[in-house]
Structure 1
Amino acid sequence: MMQTDRSHGWDGELLDLDAYLARIGYEGERAPTLGALRGLHRAHVTSIPFENIAAVLGEQVALDLPALQEKLVHGRRGGYCYEHALLFAAALERFGFEATGVNGRVTLGAGKANPPTHALLAVRAADDERLWLCDVGFGSGPLEPVEIRDGAEAEFDGWRFRMERRAGVFGVDEWWLHQRKEGRWEDRHTFVMTPVSPKDWLMGSHYVATHPRSPFVRRLYAQTFGAARHHTLDATTWTTYLPDGSSTERKIEAAELGRVLAEEFRIVADAASLARLRDGLDSA
């Protein structure tokens, strides 16, 4: 009889754990504790940037662990949510955490349903019975996990988040993550607690990286996030946000792109990719 593959594993055995931990600067305990989860989350979010260079250049975005390591760990590049979540899940698996993938729908205050194209992880620690949302691939935090509990609020170095549960159809609750911006709560994304596997994320990633309606194939987008500031680069618009809600904005020239990516966003792109990206900025 043919066996059905029900594996939701994260290929943690393929991860060069020492290299990954060195990449993110994590030196804490290697155990599935809540303290370690918080430390890993903060280290990953503040060390590996968000970027869509491959998608905007029409290149394949590979999601297998060896390719993710080569790009995000050894290659000093970043990635988008699927890449981040899969790499982080592999590390969590090696630590012994119980991690489950879920799909998110990005809303950003729009109040409308979008495709489920955001990768999230629901995680439990061995020394804590609560369930935690790990969102390492959004590009703008949170710095640490947020408890999946109605009304749960969290503040990390001035960045504030809140979880809300809403009744959904067929009795399936919707969970909404809100972020405090300019004195008000803005819904950032919503998800339901339906487990997904790495294979499920292949479809969402393919849409994000190839569909003509995906914003990630239209223009360059990069982000770095830290305790003190959040940088975004949207084509030629470089914006810096602070925890108090203030922001500054400037335009960059195409000739500055390599320096800005390397020095401000910690993204090292090869010369050929930079040339193609500059051509795209010049023609925009």
Structure 2
Amino acid sequence: MQAVRNAQPLHESTQWETSALDLDAYLARIDYRGPLAPSLETLTALQQAHLAAVPFENLEIVTGGEIRIDLESLQDKLVRRRRGGYCHEQNTLFATVLDRLGFEVAGRNARMLMGEDASVVTPLGHTLLVVKVAGHDWMVDVGVGNVGPREPIRLEADLEVSHGPWEYRLERSPLGYWLLRHKRLGEWFNIYQFSDEPCYRADSGEYNYLASRHPGSPFVRRIVAQHNGAEIRLALTDLELKIFRPGQAPELQRIEADALPDVLRQRFGLALTPEQERALLQRAETLVETTSEGEQLGT
């Protein structure tokens, strides 16, 4: 007689913090009034609404704050204070929402490439999601800034899709990973690559610590805000704003340091506290001083 094993419940560390989610507040934050049944239609609509409402940004880090990815902290920052965040924050919150709605959703961790050759091994550090719906696995990412897809992409090699005017391709990389690419001015641009290995909240917590604390992290060294729009995409890095339109070279605008809070409000919908604005302006002034010194030295 074959022994029967009792099914053990999964430990809470493998699950999303769904019970404490204020779903109504989240839906109001992204101005979503569409269907909620766990379908591909719902998933697509939620992703687009989230991207329209919640910008990608690291302002908490550069103004002296701390990034936490427990659900209460995420709801306080991204929902109640109407701020944005980076991948570990946004995709953790989005996964929790999807889980509450009945989707089967799991985390993955990617190796960022951002134009690097796909044969190069870069460190793990980017959180994304895989959602099972309509009989297929779909990659979903609301936290990869202005370059990311605006809709789910089915996990299928050599698949090319158009999200409005923006084109994407999913293929297998030389290292055997899933490789996400984005077409820029007729050329395929490598965004990141990832495996089928699950990524749990504890993993994202470690990667979040490195991204927000390590002195070599770009989120520690630079002011970053991005928006993934349907027709226009924005990328602010320090005092430079790039505006991306389909099929065109990016437009570059240089920002005066004292205009930075207004740019964040008007272009990204981000309102900081007076204390954060002062800290941000102090940080921006150091960028101006560094630029001036570099110009004097001829660098």
Per the shorter chain, which TM-score range? over 0.9
| Counterpart among 148, 173, 179 of residue 166 in structure 1 | 173
CA–CA distance in 2 between the matches of 1:196 and 1:106? 15
Residue in structure 1 matched with residue 49 of structure 2 by the alignment: 43
Residue 229 in 1 paired to residue 229 in 2?
Answer: no
After superposing on structure 2, the runs of 4+ consecutive aligned residues of structure 1 that deviate more than 3 Å are 3-7
> What is the Cα deviation at residue 56 of structure 1?
2.0
Residue in structure 2 matched with residue 132 of structure 1 by the alignment: 138
| Counterpart among 236, 259, 265 of residue 262 in structure 2 | 259
Inter-CA distance 242–4: structure 2 relative to 1 (3 Å threshold):
closer
**Paired residue type of 2:204:** W
| Counterpart among 185, 188, 192 of residue 191 in structure 2 | 188
Residue in structure 2 matched with residue 249 of structure 1 by the alignment: 252
| Counterpart among 15, 18, 39 of residue 12 in structure 1 | 18
Which deviations, in whole Å up to 9, do the C-alpha atoms of 1:98-135 show, x marking residues without a partner?
Answer: 0010001110121232221110000012xx11110001
CA–CA distance in 2 between the matches of 1:209 and 1:138? 16
Is there any run of 5+ residues in structure 2 with no aligned partner, and where? 1-8, 288-299
Contact 2:13–2:202 (Cα < 8 Å) also in 1: no
Contact 2:227–2:233 (Cα < 8 Å) also in 1: yes
Per the alignment, in what secondary structure is the counterpart of residue 14 of structure 2? Answer: coil
Inter-CA distance 14–162: structure 2 relative to 1 (3 Å threshold):
same
Give the TM-score normalised by the residue count of structure 2. Answer: 0.89
Which deviations, in whole Å up to 9, do the C-alpha atoms of 1:147-177 show, x marking residues without a partner?
Answer: 1110111111101100001364xxxx31000
> What is the Cα deviation at residue 6 of structure 1?
6.2
**Paired residue type of 2:136:** R
Q: Name the larger-Rg structure.
A: 2
CA–CA distance in 2 between the matches of 1:91 and 1:175? 25
Residue in structure 2 matched with residue 78 of structure 1 by the alignment: 84
| Counterpart among 198, 202, 206 of residue 201 in structure 2 | 198
Contact 2:62–2:283 (Cα < 8 Å) also in 1: no
| Counterpart among 273, 277, 281 of residue 280 in structure 2 | 277
Per the alignment, in what secondary structure is the counterpart of residue 272 of structure 2? Answer: coil
CA–CA distance in 2 between the matches of 1:34 and 1:5? 28
CA–CA distance in 2 between the matches of 1:239 and 1:76? 23
Which deviations, in whole Å up to 9, do the C-alpha atoms of 1:194-220 show, x marking residues without a partner?
Answer: 011111111000000000110110121
Residue 31 in 1 paired to residue 34 in 2?
Answer: no
Per the alignment, in what secondary structure is the counterpart of residue 124 of structure 2? Answer: coil
CA–CA distance in 2 between the matches of 1:167 and 1:280? 41
Is there any run of 5+ residues in structure 1 with no aligned partner, and where? none
Q: Which shows bigger deviation, 3-12 or 83-92?
A: 3-12
Per the alignment, in what secondary structure is the counterpart of residue 14 of structure 1? Answer: coil
**Paired residue type of 2:138:** W
CA–CA distance in 1 between the matches of 2:276 and 2:266? 17
**Paired residue type of 1:39:** A
> What is the Cα deviation at residue 268 of structure 1?
1.1
**Paired residue type of 2:156:** R
Inter-CA distance 31–120: structure 2 relative to 1 (3 Å threshold):
same
Q: Percent identity?
A: 37
Which deviations, in whole Å up to 9, do the C-alpha atoms of 1:229-264 show, x marking residues without a partner?
Answer: 001110000110012233211111111111110110
Query: What is the CA RMSD across the aligned residues, in angstroms?
Result: 1.4
Which deviations, in whole Å up to 9, do the C-alpha atoms of 1:264-284 show, x marking residues without a partner?
Answer: 011111111111111111111
Residue 147 in 1 paired to residue 146 in 2?
Answer: no
Q: Which shows bigger deviation, 88-97 or 5-14?
A: 5-14
